[in-house]
Structure 1
Amino acid sequence: MKPYNKGFTLIELIIAISISVVVLASLASLLWQSTNYYRRSNEEISLQMEAQTILNQLKDLIVEADNVEFDMTSDPQLLRIQQGLDKLYEISLNSDNTLSFVRASKEADDSVSRTESQLFGMYVLDFHVIEPSPDYNAVKISFTLQGEYSTYRVEESVINIRNQIKPMQSYW
């Protein structure tokens, strides 16, 4: 007489658990890769948007400028944009990879007032400007933004200056 066997054998349970582990590991790997891809894509889009914002702000300032000077030797690097005789904008690359913005104005009593430093851009690893010359009334701007996973570079974006180039005022 054969006994009536109910249930699963140990081998059947081990095989079922092994298959479940393989399937769950595959799903976990897929989820991890998707999350990682999303994080990298999101950062790349953020860097592109930050670069476009910086470039648009620089264009707004430089188009109306009378003179643009870039001092690569100073610490921090300094971009000076003069508009008329009474306005100067200074944009500096700081050691914490940010761009700062300061507006200077010449007052009626010939004193110069400056605003507090404000954030102009983030993630800026490198910043370079080719100044206008008497023959070439435009500025070329290049900069690199660095995130945790990706890098975005703007190469020699040309901004034309509407006004004739005038000397930088000495009182700045």
Structure 2
Amino acid sequence: MTYPPTKPPKSALRSLRQDRAHALGTTIIKLTCVEVALLALEDAFRDEKVESAHLKKIRRWLESCWRTVGQGQKRKLSAALLRRVDDESAMVDAARLSVVGREWTVTAWAAWLVCLDALIHDVICTWPGGHAACWRYLGQTWETLARRFLAGAGDAEGQAEGMGTQIYLETVEVTGWA
């Protein structure tokens, strides 16, 4: 009678480590996109009391999420991951530009925030570390922000939501995140 090996082969372990590193890298890229949008919003709403308070909540949860991916602990990203961040962030930006163009209207912002909301919820649903409470709270506060922008779009609310979905679908297609 033969017994299964007690240790998986090294090639299988290497493959698992590579898959885990790739998933972590994808999560870091998605967080980078959220970070860039949040920086722009914090700058735009620094004098608005209510919006600024909401953005501070998002900042707090975003920083907690950064810690779940190992950042903030003086860990450096590999050169390969940094190249991937540059390449895939450019792909995300190209997808956004193809749908909303270069104008930053309320409708365009609403669409972009809807797309980023979908990316955050992708992490929550697919990444093993996404089950942490900070991810759930980031998703909730970001969704509230997106809904506020959608409400501000007025008659174009449905159009903005559709554009955000289109940005998300194009992003997933060009980056291979599906």
Larger Rg belongs to: 1
Higher relative contact order (CA 8 A, sep 6+): 2
More strand as a share of residues: 1
